[in-house]
Amino acid sequence: MNMVLSCMFYSPIIPHAIPMAMVGCFLNYWITKYMLLKLHKMPEAFSELLTTFFANLLPYCIVVWSASYLIFAL
């Protein structure tokens, strides 16, 4: 979530941040999937509450992105 929000905030300044974040998300997904299936169990900290919290936070990400775009683009 930190990488996505940072990318959204700095994307007006650094346009290459979005493709780099896409590649980073893709690599992070596959590495985490491998680690979870082969090496580790899912920690208890990843509960349904945390998932719903970040799902409810996503609409505010649009506001943050819009504000950063207005600040840096104008």
Secondary structure percentages of the chain, helix, strand, coil, to 5: 80, 0, 20
pLDDT value of residue 43? 64
Per-residue pLDDT in tens (0 to 9) along the chain, 74 residues: 776 777 777 777 777 777 887 888 889 889 988 888 877 666 666 677 888 888 899 899 889 989 988 888 77
pLDDT value of residue 56? 92
Domain spans in the chain, listed from the N-terminal domain onward: 2-73
pTM of structure? 0.41
